[in-house]
Amino acid sequence: MRCPKCNAEIEEGYLYCKVCGEEIRIVPDYNPMMEEMLSDSLTGIFQEGDGKAEGQEKTGKEAGDKPAQKKGASQAYGKPEAKPGEPDDRERIRKRDVLFVAVGVAVASAVLIYFFMLGLRSNSYSYQYEQAVAMAENADYDRAQKFLDRAQEISGDTMEIWTLRADIAEQTGDMEGLEECLLYILGSLDSENQEAYIRLVNLYIDTGQLDKVKDTLGTCPLESVKAHFADYIPVVPTASLSDGIYYNDMDIYLEADGMDIYFTTDGSKPTTESMKYRGAIHLEKGRTTIRAIAVTETGIVSDEAFFNYQVSYLEAEAPVVSPQSGTYPGELEIVVQVPDGCTVLYTLDGTLPDLDSAVYEDPVTIQASAVFTAVSVSMSGTMSDAVQRAYTIIPLG
């Protein structure tokens, strides 16, 4: 259709020209129901008028059956004389004209109301949306989009408009358009729309965009959606020991809810090509950073975990033993000062202590001569130099 004023093309569903603003008068399609209604109305009115005329004519005939008493002037000219109380021909004609005018006014009013209501409906949101649905069902997606544009101009953004746009994009294979519609719904209309979240995640799964699957589920506030896609949510690995400084060798164990774990200890970023975790990671002297990821069975990679450890072998200080070597009467109490973080081992026969030797805990009392030898052992297992004292005990009496 073209504008009668400027001859510009009128878009589908518009009642005005977007170029010059001219209002467009739309002639409705043939409506058999409306025609039948008008026809019934006219028929009833005319039957009512004919009935009155027939009744009057019959009255006249019945009157004519009686013997004429006297002809009046009207009879002399061929015109029947009206009886008292009966309308003459002019009166009947006048009433019929009034009746026709009333009928015409009624019909015109009905037609005008019909056109007015039709115009209001065709310019309403519901009409535009219903037409868009009908066009979409008939796979006429271009026209469906035009009706949706007009519906959006009338009422603004609605959930059903954008849902239908998403449906059309999916039907036409426009995956970028589908993503845009679903993101708009979640970003501008309903941030907790479960259907939109499920459709969006399924879109990313179907198109192999696993990073977007993880990001979308990571920010989704709906536990029901997360439960639906539980196989696509990775767990960040955890370690058996927290970061820190340790003074001996140790084993680190990693866990990620049964998922496969890949890690590095050389500072490089872990991938699925890195070393796969199969058991304890043994750490020795020095600083070590463990970087680890977990991977779901569906191929989603977790965020990276970092664990920092330092193993420091403490140098064991020699213990301080008193009293000094010498001769003592009766009995003697030997006292040892144990260095921090160490354990003291000792012997009384002059041999060098080992890990099977006695552990110093309290002062040691001797009543016979002995050679007391002690060493300190740090938490890292290093052993200090030995400290030795020779004691001669002189019995009393």
- Confidence (pLDDT) at 247: 83
Domains delineated in the chain = 1-30 (no CATH), 238-311 (2.60.40), 320-394 (2.60.40.10)
Q: What is the C-alpha to C-alpha distance for residues 100 and 123, in angstroms, rounded to an integer?
A: 34
- Confidence (pLDDT) at 128: 93
pLDDT 10s digits, 219-246: 999 999 999 999 999 999 999 999 999 9
Q: What is the C-alpha to C-alpha distance for residues 278 and 291, in angstroms, rounded to an integer?
A: 15
- Confidence (pLDDT) at 24: 62
Instruction: Tokens for 123, please give them.
Output: 């310019």
- Confidence (pLDDT) at 94: 73
- Confidence (pLDDT) at 20: 65
Q: What is the C-alpha to C-alpha distance for residues 170 and 237, in angstroms, rounded to an integer?
A: 37
Residues of the chain below pLDDT 70 = 1, 12-89, 109-122, 397
- Confidence (pLDDT) at 118: 45
**DSSP H or E stretch at residue 125:** helix 125-137
DSSP-derived secondary structure for 185-251? IIIII-TT-HHHHHHHHHHHHHTT-HHHHHHHHHH---HHHHHHTGGG-----EESS-SEEESS-EE
Instruction: Tokens for 101, please give them.
Output: 């005018």
Q: Which residues pair with 260 in a beta bridge?
A: 295
What does the angle CA 111 – CA 114 – CA 120 come to, to the nearest 5 degrees?
140
Q: Of the candidates 381, 388, 296, which has an alpha carbon nearest to the alpha carbon of residue 341?
A: 381
